[in-house]
Amino acid sequence: MVRFSRVAATVVFVGLAFAVLVGCDSGGSRLEGTQWRLVGWTVSSIDPANVMITAEFAQDRLSGNSGVNSYSGPYKLGPGDTFAGGPFAGTLMAGPEPTMRAESAYLQLLGQAKSYKVSHGTLTLYEEGGNESLTFEAAN
């Protein structure tokens, strides 16, 4: 009886450990509850330091400020480092022309992102070809 209990306890422990490990790498868990500020991108004509663009990941939704307007839409991570976001909806306020261009470029790049990496307080999104397209720093 004691031998059976030890075997059962070992099976339960291994199962729980596996569930924890799988849970840490599933879906949006790596980004869930995080907030970011855009610090770099492939749009060379606009300095992201001049525009407040943010991203917040919560409950399978990506939302934030896209320069002038607020935006929101679904996102999905995995398998591996794959990323998919959108479609995104936003408010319809107008702003200065350079900021509106930045907003449009950001939302386009965000919708084209195909993979991601989080490292040392930085979130990088990559386009389909594997080139960096958007770089964020942790805001929280």
Secondary structure of 28-64 as H, E, C letters: CCCCCCEEEEEEEECCCCCCHHHCCEEEEEECCEEEE
Q: Six-digit token pair at 103?
A: 């907003």
What digits encode the pLDDT tens for the residues 64-99? 999 999 999 999 999 999 999 999 999 999 999 999
pTM to 2 decimal places: 0.78
Using an 8 Å Cβ cutoff, are 110 and 119 in contact?
no
Which option is the CATH number for 31-138: 1.25.40.420, 2.40.128.270, 2.30.30.190, 1.10.10.10?
Answer: 2.40.128.270
